[in-house]
């Protein structure tokens, strides 16, 4: 697989390589198998369909939606206010239940959250005063 930012002279490559190594364009089924999270032909309905910037924009938009969804799930998970991250429904800090790093992962089923312990060092956690 070659990224869209690179160019390949298929004619020259075919002349240089034997039958087993010859490059070819992938079929839609092969692309669908390698990129199951994308629907074939799912590009924005503007601009030339084969314009690389449009394809990149579509992929970037998909990534931004994924990050936004993960952030929203992570924010909704915490039932506290911590530092500059405040929540009107939970105005107090809750070290007993939320003193950990939140690890967010995104997979085809959607965002999932994990935890990593905070290693306390020289400074004990305390409420910030603004």
| pLDDT tens column, 32-71 | 787 777 777 655 444 454 455 667 777 788 888 888 898 8
List, as one string, the DSSP characters of the chain.
---TTS---HHHHHHHS-TTT---PPPHHHHHHH-TTS-TT---SSS-TT-HHHHHHHHHHHHHHHHHHHHHHHHHH--S-BTTB--SS--S--HHHH-EEEEEEEETTEEEEEEEE----SSPP-----
| pLDDT tens column, 70-80 | 888 888 888 99
pLDDT of residue 113: 93
């Amino acid at each position: 697989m070659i990224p869209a930012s690179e160019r390949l002279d298929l004619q020259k490559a075919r002349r240089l390589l034997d039958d087993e190594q010859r490059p070819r364009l992938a079929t839609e089924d092969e692309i669908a198998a390698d990129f199951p999270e994308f629907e074939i032909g799912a590009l924005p309905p503007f601009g030339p369909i084969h314009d690389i910037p449009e394809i990149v924009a579509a992929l970037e938009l998909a990534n931004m939606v994924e990050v936004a969804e993960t952030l929203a799930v992570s924010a909704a998970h915490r039932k506290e206010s911590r530092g500059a991250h405040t929540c009107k429904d939970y105005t107090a800090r809750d070290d007993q239940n939320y003193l950990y790093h939140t690890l967010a992962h995104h997979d085809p089923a959607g965002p999932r959250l994990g935890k990593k312990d905070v290693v306390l060092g020289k400074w004990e956690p305390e409420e910030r005063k603004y």
